Amino acid sequence: MQDASMSFVNKPVTRNRTGRGSILVGGTLVIVIAAGIGMQVWRARSSQAAEQKAATAAVPAESEATKTAFARVNGEAITYEALAKECVAKHGKEVLENMISRTIIRQACAENGVTVSEAEVDQEIVEISKKFGLAVDQWYKMLEAERGLNAEQYRRDIIWPMLALKKLAGKEVTITREMLKMAYEDNYGPRVKARMIVLDNPRRATEMWEKIKTNPDDFESLTRDYSVEANSRALGGTIPPIRRNSEGTHEALRKAAFQFKEVGEISGIIQVGPSQYVILKYEGRTEPIEHSTEDVEAQLHAELEEREVQKLVGETFESLQKSARVDNFLTGESRGRVEKASRTATAADEPATR
């Protein structure tokens, strides 16, 4: 198996060839990841009140015992301020970035008159759970067990932002016949079986290619010794079969894979990134799975629509991020256009520059 860093190698689609989905939360969690918004988002209309409520709940109740201490150990106080300081030191950057992302979407919704109702969130969760043949309560239990997400987090952090960003995008996706044809080839057509070695500079790649061309049978051992990709290296270069059209696989890699003619053939050096150079060894093709296009068209259409929505959501959030002015005083970083700032920073707000 490959890890997420191998962006040039294809990943499983939402559903496998035989049935139930292979990605636990269907498309919704992937949508948020694809959009680059690992964040916590409240509904637009109630976000401020919710944040105030959460903040109030986090502060100790007003009593003599808790005004200055969150705990006492043999009479020694651990204060709220000390606890908050340590939490910020450990988790502050991540949590603050989440809050920034949350605010960006909330502000965009307010500016554009976009709201997402509880009923819409409920309906989306019902539809997703149906895809996996589960009741909503069973779906929530699976999310809790597999992803550590409780029902409220899932609704707030995954479903709501996806629906909000889709509305903010303001357009529907279009699925063409050509897209359906390519998806059919990917899901049911032959795939290339290969081994892969990854090097981190052209000189090493050239040296390795010369060794492999001289002794093709050493490909597996050379991969275990020299490949810079840890997961496939441990497997002697074995990777999932390469699909013809998958967007999860670098185009140059796909093109080279489907040009192979004979088992054991070695590719040229394929550059798939600024410091990623790949050499493939061809091991044949998988057998195509016979299906009538008409029989699977509805499923393929749904998967393509989900994929295109993921793209749209990601592009929309990226656009919102670029247009937002963000001054992060914790990290000392600022980004975005000055004219988009919602307020003028005061001297007390600004990070020290001297």
pLDDT higher than threshold 90 for residue 241: yes
Q: Are residues 249 and 304 in the same domain?
A: no
More confident residue, 229 or 66: 229
More confident residue, 163 or 339: 163
Q: In the structure, what pLDDT confidence band is assigned to residue 12 with cuts at 50, 70 and 90?
A: very low
More confident residue, 337 or 164: 164
- Listed in sequence order, the residues at least 6 apart from 195 whose beta carbon sits closer than 8 Å to its beta carbon are 219, 220, 223, 232, 236, 237, 238, 239, 280, 281, 283
Q: What's the token pair of residue 117? A: 């109702």
Radius of gyration of the chain (CA): 25
Q: Are residues 265 and 304 in the same domain?
A: no
181-191 tens-digit pLDDT: 888 888 888 99
Assigned domain for 180 exists: no
Q: Which domain holds residue 232?
A: 190-285
The pLDDT of residue 195 is 95
The pLDDT of residue 349 is 43
Q: In the structure, what pLDDT confidence band is assigned to residue 218 with cuts at 50, 70 and 90?
A: very high
Region 9-29: mean pLDDT is 38
Q: Are residues 124 and 265 in the same domain?
A: no
pLDDT higher than threshold 90 for residue 120: yes
Of 111-115, 187-191, 225-229, 288-292, which range is least confident?
288-292
The pLDDT of residue 336 is 82
- CA-to-CA distance for 130 and 19, rounded, in angstroms? 13
The pLDDT of residue 151 is 93
Q: Are residues 199 and 125 in the same domain?
A: no
Q: Are residues 55 and 165 in the same domain?
A: yes
126-163 tens-digit pLDDT: 999 998 899 999 999 999 998 888 998 899 888 988 89
Assigned domain for 96 exists: yes
- CA-to-CA distance for 186 and 307, rounded, in angstroms? 14
Assigned domain for 219 exists: yes
Q: Are residues 163 and 222 in the same domain?
A: no
The pLDDT of residue 60 is 47
Assigned domain for 1 exists: no
Q: Are residues 302 and 237 in the same domain?
A: no
Q: Are residues 115 and 152 in the same domain?
A: yes
Residue whose pair of structure tokens reads 């068209």 in the numeric block: 297
Q: Are residues 194 and 164 in the same domain?
A: no
Q: Are residues 146 and 239 in the same domain?
A: no
What totals of helices (H) and strands (E) does the chain contain, helices first? Answer: 13, 7
The pLDDT of residue 339 is 52
Beta carbons within 10 angstroms of residue 44's beta carbon: 21
Q: Which long-range contacts (CB under 8 A, 24 or more apart) does 115-124 make?
A: 115/43, 115/44, 115/45, 116/43, 116/44, 116/160, 116/163, 116/164, 116/167, 118/43, 120/163, 121/155, 121/159, 121/160, 121/163, 124/28, 124/159, 124/162, 124/163
Of 195-204, 246-255, 270-279, which range is least confident?
246-255
Q: Provide the mean pLDDT of the chain.
A: 78
Of 64-78, 139-153, 202-216, which range is least confident?
64-78
Assigned domain for 6 exists: no
- When divided into structural domains, the chain yields a total of 2
Q: Are residues 212 and 277 in the same domain?
A: yes
Assigned domain for 148 exists: yes
According to DSSP, the residues that pair with 278 across neighbouring strands are: 198, 270
Assigned domain for 184 exists: no
Q: Are residues 49 and 166 in the same domain?
A: yes
What CATH number did the domain enclosing 239 receive?
Answer: 3.10.50.40
- CA-to-CA distance for 119 and 123, rounded, in angstroms? 6
- CA-to-CA distance for 328 and 97, rounded, in angstroms? 9
Assigned domain for 208 exists: yes
- Listed in sequence order, the residues at least 6 apart from 346 whose beta carbon sits closer than 8 Å to its beta carbon are none
Query: 269 exposed, middle or buried (CB, 10 Å; 0-12, 13-18, 19+)?
Result: middle
251-264 tens-digit pLDDT: 899 999 999 999 99
Which strands, in side-by-side order, build the sheet including 192-199?
Answer: 192-199, 276-285, 270-273
DSSP 36-101: T-------TTTHHHHHHHHHHHHSPPSSTTTSS-SEEETTEEE-HHHHHHHHHHHHHHHHHHHHHH
User: 271: part of which helix (H) or strand (E)?
Assistant: strand 270-273
pLDDT higher than threshold 70 for residue 178: yes
